[in-house]
Amino acid sequence: MTKVLSRKHLLSMKHLANADIYRIFEIAKDIEAGHVPSFHGKFAANLFLEPSTRTKSSFQVAERKLGLDLIDLEGATSSLTKGETLYDTLKTMEAIGVDVAVVRQSEVGLLNSCAGDLNLSLINAGDGCGEHPTQCLLDLYTIYEHFGQFEGLEVAIAGDLKHSRVARSNAFALEQLGAHVSFVTKPEWEDRSLATNYITMDEAVDRCDALMLLRIQHERHEQSTADQSYLEQYGLTKAREARMGPNSIILHPAPVNRGVEIDSDLVESDKSRIFRQMTNGVTIRMAIIQALLKGEL
Amino acid sequence: MTKVLSRKHLLSMKHLANADIYRIFEIAKDIEAGHVPSFHGKFAANLFLEPSTRTKSSFQVAERKLGLDLIDLEGATSSLTKGETLYDTLKTMEAIGVDVAVVRQSEVGLLNSCAGDLNLSLINAGDGCGEHPTQCLLDLYTIYEHFGQFEGLEVAIAGDLKHSRVARSNAFALEQLGAHVSFVTKPEWEDRSLATNYITMDEAVDRCDALMLLRIQHERHEQSTADQSYLEQYGLTKAREARMGPNSIILHPAPVNRGVEIDSDLVESDKSRIFRQMTNGVTIRMAIIQALLKGEL
Amino acid sequence: MTKVLSRKHLLSMKHLANADIYRIFEIAKDIEAGHVPSFHGKFAANLFLEPSTRTKSSFQVAERKLGLDLIDLEGATSSLTKGETLYDTLKTMEAIGVDVAVVRQSEVGLLNSCAGDLNLSLINAGDGCGEHPTQCLLDLYTIYEHFGQFEGLEVAIAGDLKHSRVARSNAFALEQLGAHVSFVTKPEWEDRSLATNYITMDEAVDRCDALMLLRIQHERHEQSTADQSYLEQYGLTKAREARMGPNSIILHPAPVNRGVEIDSDLVESDKSRIFRQMTNGVTIRMAIIQALLKGEL
């Protein structure tokens, strides 16, 4: 694998060629084999302006395993509410010696407009309804780990497509890597800008190699979804899981609404890669940080 | 001291035999003598869903002194409010590589129901009105450090017994270790399920070797206690302290309401072990983590 | 430079003689030259009871670069709201093994009343409208770095003098070091207890070597300042900047209100030391901590 282009930020899957994606997987496999570089003396700042447990914790573990020091930016919210721009906050981070800044915030495209003038590595950890490239890469890695390649794989993405940044990044990258992607959703959550090949959940379980369930974001919907009815119409029941192919797998970005997107008993079933995704998340984030800090991307 | 049973969680004093308690004290003394193991490369997560200053800080210092890396779980609250179960949050911690999770939350028994399926060490740092075993062990260690043993010691526990998880754990463990425990409280705070041997504060100071004051939790009581009158009837005034035996000691889990449970001038008096308890808290938590991670319990 | 007096806290610029200030600058230059001591095994606690991004982050980076372990005191607020005094919180920090406590809180003089009985080093990181000595020292260091000395320098401080702890500390120290200080402000923000030599912004740019802009604290004013009109009357426009001397510099403690105190295009201009101040802030805080922990002050 040759070096495709030198890059210091990871803002969007759209900036990554297939070769970049495979390069990150290669680094991840090296890390799993115990080849972990040390960035002792370098600093990471995790700036989460929207709530997060697992993404933030995952980055923290990844950063510490690489020997980076972390600074805590809870307070960053307060300067931003004082009217400081995100650019000035990031420029401040640069000035005090931060080498990599991981940012979750709600405005699509804002990071791109900041990135050009920053002398640190910027990682998009979710920008509203835009993208979430590290989640995408850990999903892809989890599929790759199981199937060894993407060419001709049938992948179904099921859930609230309209509000999911994960769906958008994943669909784009999977198609680029040679997989075929279908979608399952309620009519009011269809996003025709994303795709047109909508199928039912029953068709999905019969056909797919990888079933990617999305989280119903109760906190973004005014009216609570009738959970049991959602599970029956659009979710993964035990009956549906039994119809899935013997080599097929189930993914979910978590947190899972047990009994809504998926029957609670299936969360830790054989086909489920839900907790494996979290483990891979740490490895993939280590690989991304290594790639950015060492100019390997 | 032989190894009593292999155990990876610390959830309740009821799970500890006297031999376990003495084993923890032995490790604590080794640590004080400078024998501190390194758990470099291992991770601790501190998940405090209810506020805490000193217990959380104490665990942080203990963990860092043992070389553990810490991950910050402020955000955990948010995933839990998104409807994720505590089990799924802890399973996430396990998946991202956490070795020991310290949890404070309000539901009695919830940790026990999670613990069985977790491949990490779980420490109960206070579960509502249930137990707070690390506080109990540091109280016991502070008594042990002074008296060298428990057999026949007279201990009085004074304060709001109804709402105190400390009282419950301490009374159980002290009796098991051979001490004799009496209680001082207002009639409305008596808890007959805990004990029956209630005495007055005057009787307590005349009789006890160790006086354990509990904190009046103003934030749990609708009507503010008339502080000065509480001190005079149920608290440790200077006059009462003067009647205590020459070798007796005073404990309080802090934060202290100065002038309510105890006269402000007595907080740092000769008999007081209040700040010593905090120093011992770090040592005892180091000992507990060492015991759990090395399977010495 | 001889050692002036042995001191373990930094609470006010009024406690520092010029020799102390130059001693801190000397240590800072040594640190910039790569002579960084290690305080591995020691602990710092950052207790920010009022919001802060850059001061807190700056201390965190400084502490980590010195090898100190940090403990997170978000929760400290809760014990303080439980009625615990700041003294008891700091005494707790001492008891659990903290060596240096950095405190931001709102009551002028409170730290002085606590400091005497504490066996740890206390640093004032801003006390309401009182002082902010580490900000002052980094401002002074940034001026010193450029001019090499203070004698006869013309310094203008412009902005909301009434609410600025930075103005107060800086004016005092600059005069003591031999600079001449003038002030620019709106009539209603004049503070006659601070100074009497008020000039206009036009006079300031014509005359000064260093122009120190203060932040308009919108959050402390009921009525929003008419921003464009403030810039034109009291702020640094491009036209005014063009009149400044060729060797003059611009300082601002940040966060900047772009287009209010200063034209947005000037924030990263040649004369601006705004981001340099942040870089110096880390170095100066390292120097201060080193001086306190090693008794070099």
Q: Quick: pLDDT tens for B251-294.
A: 999 999 999 999 999 999 999 999 999 999 999 999 999 999 99
Q: Is B168 a residue whose pLDDT tops 90?
A: no
Instruction: Compute the distance between CA of residue C213 and CA of residue C263 in angstroms, rounded to an integer.
Output: 12
pLDDT tens digit sequence for A99-133:
999 999 988 889 999 888 899 999 999 988 888 99
C67 touches C100 (CB < 8 A): no
Mean pLDDT for the stretch of residues A274-296: 97
Q: Looking at beta carbons, which residues of chain A come within 8 Å of C48?
A: 75
Mean pLDDT estimate for chain B? 90
Higher pLDDT, C7 or A44: A44
Average pLDDT over residues C113-139: 92
Give the pLDDT confidence of B87-100 residue by residue, as tens digits: 999 999 999 999 99
In this predicted structure, what is the pLDDT of residue A3? Answer: 38
Per-residue confidence (pLDDT) for residue B297, from 0 to 100: 83
Whether A76 has a pLDDT exceeding 80, the answer reads no
pLDDT of C5 strictly over 60 = no
Residue with tokens 């030391």: C273
Give the pLDDT mean for A171-176.
94
**Can you tell me the distance from the alpha carbon of B239 to that of A156, in angstroms, rounded to the nearest whole number?**
77
- Are the Cβ atoms of C95 and B256 closer than 8 angstroms? no
Please state the rounded mean pLDDT for residues C10-17: 94
Regarding whether B210 and B155 lie in a shared domain, the answer is yes
CA distance B162 to B156: 16
Residue C270 has pLDDT above 70, yes or no: yes
Do B56 and B112 belong to one domain? yes
Whether pLDDT at B122 is above 80: yes
With contact defined as beta carbons under 8 Å apart, do C151 and C178 qualify?
A: yes
**Residue A140: half-sphere exposure toward Cβ, Cα within 13 Å:** 35
Do residue A252 and residue A193 come from a single domain?
yes
Letter for the amino acid at B25? F
Q: So what's the pLDDT on residue A5?
A: 42
Residues B142 and B268 in one domain: yes
Edge-first strand listing for the sheet containing B121-127: B69-72, B43-48, B100-105, B121-127
Identify the helix (H) or strand (E) that includes residue A46. Answer: strand A43-48
Nearest Cα residue in chain A from B95: A279
Q: How confident is the model at residue B76 (pLDDT cuts 50, 70, 90)?
A: low
Q: Which of B48, B60, B278 sits opposite C92 (nearest CB)?
A: B278
Q: How confident is the model at residue B50 (pLDDT cuts 50, 70, 90)?
A: confident
Between C116 and B209, whose confidence is greater? B209
In the structure, what pLDDT confidence band is assigned to residue C75 with cuts at 50, 70 and 90?
Answer: low
Residue pointed to by tokens 């009639």: B187
Q: Do the beta carbons of residue B215 and residue B252 sit within 8 Å?
A: yes
Q: Is B61 exposed, middle or buried (0-12, 13-18, 19+ CB in 10 A)?
A: buried
Residues A144 and A216 in one domain: yes
Q: Do A42 and A95 fall into the same domain?
A: yes
Q: Are residues C100 and C223 in the same domain?
A: no
The verdict on a CB contact (< 8 Å) between C279 and A97 is yes
pLDDT at A79 over 90: no
Q: Say whether C92 and B61 touch across the interface (CB within 8 A).
A: no
User: Range of A20's domain?
Assistant: 4-130+279-294
pLDDT of residue A257: 92
- What average pLDDT does this structure show over A177-201? 89
Considering CB atoms only, which of A75, A84, A97 is closest to C61? A97
Instruction: State how far residue B24 is from chain A, nearest Cα, in angstroms.
Output: 29
Which chain C residues touch A45 with a CB distance below 8 Å?
57
pLDDT-derived band at B79 (thresholds 50, 70, 90) equals low
Residue length of chain A = 297
Work out the mean pLDDT of chain A and round it to a whole number.
Answer: 90
Question: In terms of domains, do A17 and A97 share one?
Answer: yes
Residues in chain C with CB shorter than 8 Å from the CB of A43 are 61, 64
DSSP assignment letter at A256: -
Same domain, C57 and C77: yes
pLDDT band at B81 (very low <50, low <70, confident <90, very high): low
Whether the Cβ atoms of residue A50 and residue A105 lie closer than 8 Å to each other: yes
Length of chain B in terms of residues written:
297
pLDDT of residue B226: 62
State the complex-level ipTM: 0.92
More confident residue, B196 or A154: A154
Averaged pLDDT of chain C: 90
Q: What percent of chain C has pLDDT over 90?
A: 72
Residues C175 and C93 in one domain: no
Cβ distance of C96 and B58 shorter than 8 Å: yes
Q: What single-letter amino acid sits at B109?
A: G
Mutation target vs B (from A57, A251, A262; most B CBs, 10 A cutoff):
A57
pLDDT for the residue B5: 42
Residues C290 and C231 in one domain: no
- C253 → chain A, closest CA residue: A92
CA distance C25 to C19: 10
* Cα–Cα nearest to B244, from B236, B252, B253: B236
Rounded distance between C-alpha atoms, residue B163 and residue B215, angstroms: 10
Q: Which region, left, alpha or beta, applies to residue C183 given φ > 0 means left and ψ of -120 to 50 means alpha?
A: beta
Residues of chain C with C-beta less than 8 angstroms from the C-beta of A91: 275
C295 torsion bin: left (phi>0), alpha (psi -120 to 50), beta (else): left
Q: Can you give the CATH number for the domain in which C108 is found?
A: 3.40.50.1370
**pLDDT value for C225:** 53
User: How far away is chain A from the Cα of B98, in angstroms, using its nearest Cα?
Assistant: 9
Contact B218 C82 (CB under 8 A): yes
Question: How many domains does chain A divide into?
Answer: 2
> Rounded mean pLDDT of C266-275?
98
Interface of B with C (CB under 8 A): 48, 51-54, 56-58, 60-61, 64-65, 72, 74, 218-219, 254-258, 267, 275-276, 278-279, 281-282
pLDDT beyond 50 at C251? yes
Least-confidence region, from A238-242, B274-278, C103-107, C188-192: C188-192
Candidates C51, C56, C282; nearest CB to A97 = C282
CA–centroid distance for B176 within its chain: 16
Range with the lowest mean pLDDT among A255-259, B41-45, B176-180?
A255-259
More confident residue, A75 or A265: A265
User: pLDDT tens-digit profile of A20-35?
Assistant: 999 999 999 999 999 9
At residue C74, the 3 state secondary structure works out as: coil
The tokens describing B124, both together, are 């109960």
Residues of B in contact with C96 (CB under 8 A): 54, 57-58, 61, 278-279, 281-282
Separation of alpha carbons A104 and A90, rounded Å: 13
C-beta atoms of C52 and A97 within 8 A:
no
Please, which pLDDT band fits residue C220 given cuts at 50, 70 and 90? low
Name the minimum distance, in Å, from the CA of A60 to any CA of chain C: 15
**pLDDT attached to residue A63:** 98
Residue C219 clears pLDDT 70, i.e. is over it: no
Give the pLDDT of residue C10: 96
Share of chain A above pLDDT 90, in %: 72
What phi and psi values does residue C255 have, to the nearest 5 degrees? -65, 140
CB spacing of B93 vs A57 below 8 angstroms: yes
Residues 6 or more apart whose CB falls under 8 angstroms from that of C280 comprise C28, C138, C141, C142, C145
pLDDT of A77 reads 61
- Kindly state whether residues A285 and A270 are assigned to the same domain: no
Please name the amino acid found at residue C256. V
Contact B96 A48 (CB under 8 A): no
pLDDT at B53 (0 to 100): 80
Nearest residue of A to residue C57, measured between CA atoms: A71
Q: Mind telling me how many Å the CA of A4 is from chain B's nearest CA?
A: 30
